[in-house]
Amino acid sequence: MDKKQQINEYMNILAEGNYFNGSVLAANKGEVILNKGYGLSSYQYAIENTSITKFRIGSLTKSFTAAAVLLLHQQGRLNLSDKINAYINNFPSEAGVTIHHLLSHSSGVADFTFSPEYWEKYMRLPTSLKQSVDWIKIRPLQFQPGKDMQYSNAGYLLLTALIENVSGLPYEQFLLENIFKPLQLKNTGIDDGRKIVKDLASGHSVWEEVINAEYIDMSIPQGAYGMYSTAEDLYKWTEVLRNGVLLNKSMTSKMFTASYGGYGYGWFISGDQETARHSGDINGFTNELLMNFKEGLTIIVLSNINITPADKICEDISQIILNKEVRMPESFAPAAGHIPWRILIGEYTSNELYSAVHWENNKLFVTIPKKYGALYKYEIKPFTLADDKAIFKSDFVYEDFIFDLKGHCLEFVDVYGKRHFLKKQTALG
């Protein structure tokens, strides 16, 4: 079986098992191996995902913002070592924050998206870039610039303001004139949540079943995590960056050179500039983009269900292409027989994990935290039922739940293959 067949088999099993919903593009040495949509773009209207479906790409936006700043440097309109207060009025000059610090997440600028108030309230409210910048300016730095690394969406909002102030154009207009149009990225843009974006997928989450994602006002993210694109356009973008079409050799090298914490400019870098990758999460969407420069690989995974482990799928596809071993998902039919739900239901804990098992409407559900600690509740279906052991496989994520019926224990094998051992603490009525 060749690599193309292997990747197709892998993705088809995920899609048929309800484990993937979105769009995937895989390319090796300039040849596109896979470019396909899976599942539904909108569950409400039963519209299918295709290779040209647009997705909110979250923090994949940062590579475009970083490129815009590097382009301004290349044009001689700023210097990366300049202090940010030279371009943003009333930004504390004593802070010593430079453009380089913001690009590499080494500025110490406080990030509002880590605040509980953001999730509970502010992400639902319209705002302006000026209001966001004013909020950032009055917050104390988390550490001395250049002495540490802490991922900061707020830092990239400051860069958004910098681009506008230096160019004299709105952020979206600058990208349109200098990146999107010249590079023919026709399906990429800024999503302000107001204008109609044709073929834009709806964002979803999971609570017992697929639901609409929590609302976010798209006036907030902008140059930090506010763009939309397609897998095809993102592939064009990676080829532009690889081949120095937009940025010269010096600026390209700066983008893909790791600084503090392994971050370059808009990318996480590993090895000696061997790979560049980034995730992109925003309400209802989760994405992963990997470029392996040494092997000539590009893998793009875009999903409009936020429980999807896009990073794992991206990594698995790259491993298949590199002829490395991958834990392939398996198709299964639920086992017949009585589910001993009275024994199974309850709260299970370990030092690092909490899970609750429920029986509702003749179905077994699990509630468990995922990325960022967010709780999800989804059905688990019987795979093996025996007197002393019951194995269940989950819906939406390829995981195993192995119940020891005698010892009241749960072995949870997560999507990454890590085993978690939990002890039953409380029975649920």
Which tens digit of pLDDT belongs to each residue from 385-395? 999 999 999 98
Question: 194: alpha, beta or left, given left = phi > 0 and alpha = psi -120 to 50?
Answer: alpha
CA distance 414 to 312: 11
Mean pLDDT for 336-358 is: 95
Q: Which of 268, 288, 321 is the last residue of a domain?
A: 321
CA distance 367 to 206: 11
CA distance 375 to 252: 39
In a domain, 333, yes or no: no
In a domain, 354, yes or no: yes
- Looking at the fold, whether 272 and 393 belong to one and the same domain comes out as no
CA distance 64 to 265: 10
pLDDT of residue 120: 86
Q: Which of 259, 286, 321 is the last residue of a domain?
A: 321
- What is the average pLDDT score of the chain? 95
Q: Which of 321, 353, 380 is the last residue of a domain?
A: 321
Torsion (CA) 91, 94, 100, 104 in degrees, nearest 10: -90
- Looking at the fold, whether 360 and 301 belong to one and the same domain comes out as no
> What are residue 219's DSSP bridge partners?
none
- Looking at the fold, whether 367 and 230 belong to one and the same domain comes out as no
DSSP 8-state secondary structure symbol assigned to residue 236: H
- Looking at the fold, whether 110 and 257 belong to one and the same domain comes out as yes
In a domain, 329, yes or no: no
DSSP 8-state secondary structure symbol assigned to residue 249: H
- Report the domain count for the chain: 2
In a domain, 334, yes or no: no
Decide if 358 contacts 425 (C-beta within 8 A): no
pLDDT of residue 333: 87
Query: Burial level of 402, CB count in 10 A (0-12/13-18/19+)?
Result: middle
pLDDT tens-place string over residues 130-180: 999 999 999 999 999 999 999 999 999 999 999 999 999 999 999 999 999
- Looking at the fold, whether 346 and 227 belong to one and the same domain comes out as no
pLDDT of residue 330: 84
Mean pLDDT for 86-92 is: 94
Question: What tokens does 276 get?
Answer: 């560049």
pLDDT of residue 149: 96
- Looking at the fold, whether 277 and 394 belong to one and the same domain comes out as no
- Looking at the fold, whether 361 and 286 belong to one and the same domain comes out as no
- Looking at the fold, whether 76 and 142 belong to one and the same domain comes out as yes
CA distance 148 to 424: 41
In a domain, 328, yes or no: no
In a domain, 265, yes or no: yes
Mean pLDDT for 78-94 is: 94
pLDDT of residue 205: 98
Query: CB atoms < 10 A from the CB of 343, how many?
Result: 15
- Looking at the fold, whether 118 and 205 belong to one and the same domain comes out as yes
**What's the CATH code of the domain at 357?**
2.40.128
In a domain, 185, yes or no: yes
Decide if 218 contacts 226 (C-beta within 8 A): yes
Q: Count Cα neighbours of 22 within 13 Å in the Cβ-side half-sphere.
A: 33
Q: Which of 78, 59, 266 is nearest to 168 (CA)?
A: 78
CA distance 103 to 160: 11
Please spell the DSSP secondary structure of 9-77, one letter per residue.
Answer: HHHHHHHHTT---EEEEEEETTEEEEEEEESEEETTTTEEP-TT-BEEEETTHHHHHHHHHHHHHHTTS
> What are residue 155's DSSP bridge partners?
none
- Looking at the fold, whether 146 and 255 belong to one and the same domain comes out as yes
**What's the CATH code of the domain at 164?**
3.40.710.10
CA distance 173 to 190: 10
Residue 429 has pLDDT above 80, yes or no: no
In a domain, 332, yes or no: no
Mean pLDDT for 292-313 is: 97
Residue 399 has pLDDT above 60, yes or no: yes
> What are residue 403's DSSP bridge partners?
390, 410
Give the domain extent around 384.
341-426
Grade residue 12 by pLDDT with cuts at 50, 70 and 90: very high
- Looking at the fold, whether 307 and 363 belong to one and the same domain comes out as no
> What is the residue type of 337?
G
- Looking at the fold, whether 209 and 266 belong to one and the same domain comes out as yes
pLDDT of residue 426: 80
Decide if 19 contacts 398 (C-beta within 8 A): yes
